[in-house]
Amino acid sequence: MKVFLSLKHWQLFLLIYCLPLALLAGMIGYMIIVGGGTSEALLFYKLFLLGFLISMGIYFYWLWSLASFFTKKNPNVHRKTRLKFLLLLAFLLYVAVNLLLYLNIDTWALEGNMQNYFKIIIIITMLGFVFVVLYLYCLYRIAKIFKTAQLGKTASLSEFILELLLLWFYPIGIWIIQPPVNKMLKREM
């Protein structure tokens, strides 16, 4: 975990974005050279989902590492709260994976049975709503724990709203949040 938190912001950015984009670019290049048929398009779709899962897995592991490190460092956060938070983050990952699986099932469910199609759309919508609520709550908790560790006192919403927005817009947030994390990690070592 500390090895992952000690990465520079550009290294973390490369892991989260460039690894899946390289996979995507390689697949697009393959489709252009070979010529895309149905089997290649299906392979492309599955590799795109794999790249997305890798990217989101690395991102969520970064969030989990932030939460674990700053929860241990902060005496104001209780262990029960940490356990609940980690369980919530695990459930968030579960919902994200299931959402992707249901999106994949959607492609073969359209074989003429509209009733199944509407059931799948309802399930995807409900899982998507649960995912968004849990994701925003996790970002709220991580931003509060991070700012509390920085300030040394319990942070109010007005004090950590910037960190919350930076975590939400994580392509930019990684570049701004990771350097203070590196400084705090070096101070502890």
**Which of 23, 49, 27 is closest to 36 using CA atoms?**
27
Instruction: Please name the residue that has the structure tokens 């490369």.
Output: 14
Asked whether residue 139 is domain-assigned, the answer is: yes
Asked whether residue 50 is domain-assigned, the answer is: yes
Tokens of 9: 């912001």
Q: pLDDT tens digits, residue range 79-130?
A: 666 656 766 777 777 677 766 666 665 555 555 556 666 776 777 777 777 7
Instruction: Please name the residue that has the structure tokens 């059931």.
Output: 119
Asked whether residue 1 is domain-assigned, the answer is: no
Tokens of 62: 């970064």
> Does pTM surpass 0.85?
no
Considering its fold, how many domains does the chain have in total? Answer: 1
State the residue range of the domain holding 158: 8-188
Residues with Cβ within 8 Å of 84's Cβ and at least 6 positions away in sequence, in order, are none
Asked whether residue 182 is domain-assigned, the answer is: yes
Asked whether residue 61 is domain-assigned, the answer is: yes
